[in-house]
Structures are given as C-alpha cells and as structure tokens.
Amino acid sequence: MQRTQWISAALWRVLLVFIVAAGLGCNTKLEKPPVEVTFRESLVGAGKILQLKNQTNLPLHELEVTIESDSGEVGYQVPELAGYEVLEVGWKKLGGYEIPDGAKVEVRAKGYLLPVAVEIGRPAAAESGRP
C-alpha cells in the first residue's frame, strides 16, 4: 500500500512540474534579462542614480527594480524599456528614497526567470544579463 501511495505522489509531482512549465510558456528563459545596471552620483539630490540599459534592439517588458538597504526596501516598475534605451532611476522616481552605498539592486523582466543583481558601491557594480 505504501509503494502505491509513493508512486501516486511521484506522478502528481511530475504532473505539477509539467503544469508549471506550461504555465511559464515557451518564451520564458532561464537566464537574466539583457539589462546593464550601472550607477552614478546624483547631481541634484543625495544618493545614487541607477542607470538601466537594454542591451538589445528588442523591447523588454514589465521590469521590476527592487532596491534593498539598511534603511528599507523600495521598488520601481517599468512597463517597457525600448531597445538600447537607457533609463535613470533615482530619489525623485523613488518618492524621495535616496539610494545609499551598499544597497542591493535586483532587476527582473517578463520572460526571464533570473534577476540581474548588483550591489551599489562595489568595484563590480556594473553587471549585465548577458554572459
């Protein structure tokens, strides 16, 4: 009886994996979006300004930028980033939140499972979704 239950549970797990995979669709990639994340000092306020650059000629959709630091977490959503477009995100777009050194930034985009992740103020702060 236990073996039958184990086989039944295994079959349900396999079925669940196929359902989830089908739900993700064929256009979902197990990689980072092709976004280069860099930063610069703010000219008018305090903190840093993130620079997000689409590295392809195709638009990226539904980008989610998450910034986490000791002072909390804030998010910013970008409906579309056109091909080769550069978008700057700073304290003004973040409702007064000033991005400090050491902040951790993640950028996700529709169709890509992995985020581009960087830490502000570190030597390797510029990271790309491309290998």
Q: Which two tokens stand for residue 130?
A: 């491309």
* 115 three-class SS: coil
- Please give the domain boundaries of the chain with CATH numbers for all domains: 35-119 (2.60.40.10)
The answer to whether the CB of 119 falls within 8 A of the CB of 23 is no
Instruction: Give this prediction's pTM.
Output: 0.73
Which residues make Cβ contacts (< 8 Å) with residue 120, sequence separation at least 6? 39, 48, 99, 100, 101, 102, 103, 104, 105
pLDDT per residue as tens digits for the range 74-131: 999 999 999 999 999 999 999 999 999 999 999 999 999 999 999 998 644 344 454 4
